[in-house]
Amino acid sequence: MEYGTIEREIHIEASPEVVYQVISRPEHLREWWPDDADLDPVPGGTGTISFGDSATPTHVSPVTVMEADPPRRFSFRWVYEEDEVAAADNSLLVTFELVPSDGGTLLRFCESGFREKGWEAAVLEEAYNDHARGWEHFLPRLVTYAEKLASTP
Architecture of domain 5-151: 2-Layer Sandwich (3.30)
Inter-axis angle of helices 16-24 and 121-151, to 10 degrees? Answer: 130
E strands in 3-153? 5-12, 36-39, 46-51, 59-69, 73-78, 92-101, 104-112
Would you place residue 1 in the very low, low, confident or very high pLDDT band (cuts 50, 70, 90)? low
Instruction: Residue 138: name the closest of 42, 34, 9 by CA.
Output: 34
> What are the sequence ranges of the domains in the chain?
5-151
Q: Is the pLDDT of residue 99 over 80?
A: yes
Express each pLDDT in 7-32 by its tens digit: 999 999 999 999 999 999 999 999 99
Q: Is the pLDDT of residue 94 over 80?
A: yes
What's the pLDDT at 55? 77
Give me the mean pLDDT over the 85-101 stretch.
97
Express each pLDDT in 42-88 by its tens digit: 999 999 999 988 778 789 999 999 999 999 999 999 999 999 999 99
Furthest CA-CA distance within the chain: 50
What's the pLDDT at 132? 97
Gyration radius of the chain over CA positions: 15
What's the pLDDT at 152? 87
What's the pLDDT at 71? 98
Instruction: Residue 75: name the closest of 100, 101, 112 by CA.
Output: 112
More confident residue, 105 or 2: 105
